[in-house]
Structure 1
Amino acid sequence: MLYMEISTWEPEKRDLILEHFKEIKVPAGVKVHDQWVDLTGSRYFILYECDDAEAFAAFNLPWSDICYIETVPVMKSTDFISVMSRKY
């Protein structure tokens, strides 16, 4: 499944976030497609694929003490339209 995550943090945690980024390791079972940083500060966006609950947890839990993570399952709009056209 494809996920879009938006991570936000308090400005005073910036240095902790930067240290985490330097040490980030993507676990087996997670395929990162792309990542973006909000240039106005305190937000990070990542699009990745994962079908393994353990890999999902290993990827997110190390961040849970310093930022808020909103995870949204997504799909390309063309794929969505195709799926919905077959069903309805």
Structure 2
Amino acid sequence: MLYMEISTWEPEKRDLILEHFKELKMPAGVKVHDQWIDLTGSRYFILYECDDAEAMATFNLPWSDVCYIETVPVMKSTEFISLMSRKS
């Protein structure tokens, strides 16, 4: 399943966030499609694929002390429209 995560942090946590990024390693089971940083410097967006709850937790848990993470399951709009068309 695809997930879009938006991580936000307080400006005073910037240095801690940078240290976390330096140590960032994706666990097995998490496939990153793309990543973006908000140019204001306080948000991080990542699109990744994961079907393993343990891998997802392993990826997110180290960040829980420095930022807020909002996780949203997503799919391409064309796939969603096709799915909804079949159900109608």
Q: TM-score range by the shorter chain?
A: over 0.9
Percent of aligned pairs sharing the same letter = 90
The TM-score, its normalising length taken from structure 1, stands at 0.99
Q: Which runs of 5+ in 2 are unaligned?
A: none
Q: Deviation of residue 54 (structure 1)?
A: 0.4
In structure 1, C-alpha distance between the alignment counterparts of 2:78 and 2:48, rounded to whole Å: 18
- Equivalent residue pairs, number: 88
Q: Deviations over 1:28-80 (max 9, x none)?
A: 00000000000012000000000000000000000001000000000000000
Q: TM-score, normalised by structure 2?
A: 0.99
Q: Which segments of structure 1 move beyond 6 Å, counting only runs of 4 or more?
A: none
**Could you say what the CA RMSD is over the residues aligned between the two structures, in angstroms?**
0.4
**What's 1:77 paired with?**
77
The equivalent residue for 2:55 is 55
**Alpha-carbon distance in structure 1 between the residues aligned to 2:53 and 2:38:** 28
